[in-house]
Structures are given as C-alpha cells and as structure tokens.
Amino acid sequence: RKEVEQDPGPFNVPEGATVAFNCTYSNSASQSFFWYRQDCRKEPKLLMSVYSSGNEDGRFTAQLNRASQYISLLIRDSKLSDSATYLCVVNILVTGANNLFFGTGTRLTVIP
Amino acid sequence: IAGITQAPTSQILAAGRRMTLRCTQDMRHNAMYWYRQDLGLGLRLIHYSNTAGTTGKGEVPDGYSVSRANTDDFPLTLASAVPSQTSVYFCASSDSWTANQPQHFGDGTRLSIL
C-alpha cells in the first residue's frame, strides 16, 4: 500500500472556478504535511504546509483530518497560472530521518 | 540567487558506466536528499544526509551511493548504471532533519541509461 494516495486527475476547470484536491495517508505516525506544486519538467516547489487547525494562504486553503488520515487543498478563483501538478506530501520521522513521502500528484489545468 | 544547483542538467549514459550527479547548495542547510521521480510512482527517496559526515538509506538505495564531505555538497554516484535507473533525479535540502521542515529542490537531472 502506498504511503500517500492522490486522485491523479486530470482536473480541467474554467478560470474563476473553485477546485478541491484530496489526499489520504496510511501511516498514523505521520507528523507533518505539505502541499507542493510541480510545473511540467520542473522541480517541486513548496506551496504550503498543512496544520492541524487548517490554514489559508490567499486563494489556497489546506485542511488536515488526522482521525481520517486525510488532507485537502482548496483553490478558489482559479487562475491560468494555477495549472500544474499538486503533490501531497507527508513527513514520517523514521529513525532520525526527515522522510518525505510524496503522492503521485493531481494534475490541474485551468482553462480560459 | 541562493539555492540548489544540480549538474548535469541531462545526460545519456551507456549501461555499465559510472556516473556522478552533482548537487551543491549555498543555504547552509544541514540536511540534504536525493530523490528519483518516475511516471506513476512519484518522488522516491534514494539517500539522505542529516548533517555533514553522515548519510542514510532511503526507500530505493540499491545501485546508488552518496557522500557528504561538507555541508554544501552531496554527490550521488551510480557505480554501474542500468536502464532501470533512467529517471529524473532531484536533489533537495532542508534547514534541519526534524519534522515540519519543508525541503527545497534543485532543478533536476534527466538521466537516460541505454
């Protein structure tokens, strides 16, 4: 079983739409959670950390449900520039290592 | 501009050859990592280093070795390349190895083994 599971998409949405991505993780010992963004043929870049109380950064809202082992990312008022692959990432501290486990990503295309 | 530099950007290599991928960071980050990214599998950790002088194995370490002689450099070596090592390789770093530390990635190295 994969540590992190994501719906691969693709999600094709019009500009201005609201879109939500979901992610589940299998290890209850997971300690930290992140969303990364990866543009085609580029490196992953940190979008936002995910905190237990939920957090917002502009048009982006991340939520964590530890009981259900579930993470979500909501994007409001989608822009063309939001088109990318969004990676759900979970940190499991294993024997003194900062092990990040990545989902395979959800691809988003925002259409004019 | 501060960040992580990887070299080469891309490489085509004959099977059986030895290859070292270079990674240098100028952020004085203590921890560094090597990942490979394959279609449908996402990024997988190969090796990591929590601090200069120490290294550890990740999820897919076989066929790869690393060294961490100083804080800035973390080269990845394929002793005898095989076609299954064709992938995109990303080097990353974080301020420390503890939880809650996001990782910052280099631009990647596209490696093709023929």
Cα four-point dihedral sign A33, A35, A36, A40: positive
Q: Over the stretch B10-34, which tens digit does the pLDDT of each residue have?
A: 999 999 999 999 999 999 999 999 9
Q: Does A42 touch chain B (CB under 8 A)?
A: yes
Would the CB atoms of B103 and A98 count as touching at under 8 Å? Answer: yes
Q: Over the stretch A75-108, which tens digit does the pLDDT of each residue have?
A: 999 999 999 999 999 987 766 666 788 999 999 9
pLDDT of residue A96: 63
Rounded Cα–Cα distance for residues A88 and A90 (Å): 7
Strands B4-7 and A106-111: unpaired
Peptide linkage before B8 cis (omega within 30 of 0): yes
Q: Does A87 touch chain B (CB under 8 A)?
A: yes
Report which of residues A65 and A94 the model is more confident about: A65
Rounded Cα–Cα distance for residues B106 and A43 (Å): 6
Residue of A27, A32, A88, A98 to mutate for B, most B C-beta atoms under 10 A: A98
- How far off is chain B from A40, nearest CA to CA, in Å? 12
Would the CB atoms of A99 and B58 count as touching at under 8 Å? Answer: yes
- How far off is chain B from A2, nearest CA to CA, in Å? 10
Rounded Cα–Cα distance for residues A101 and B44 (Å): 7
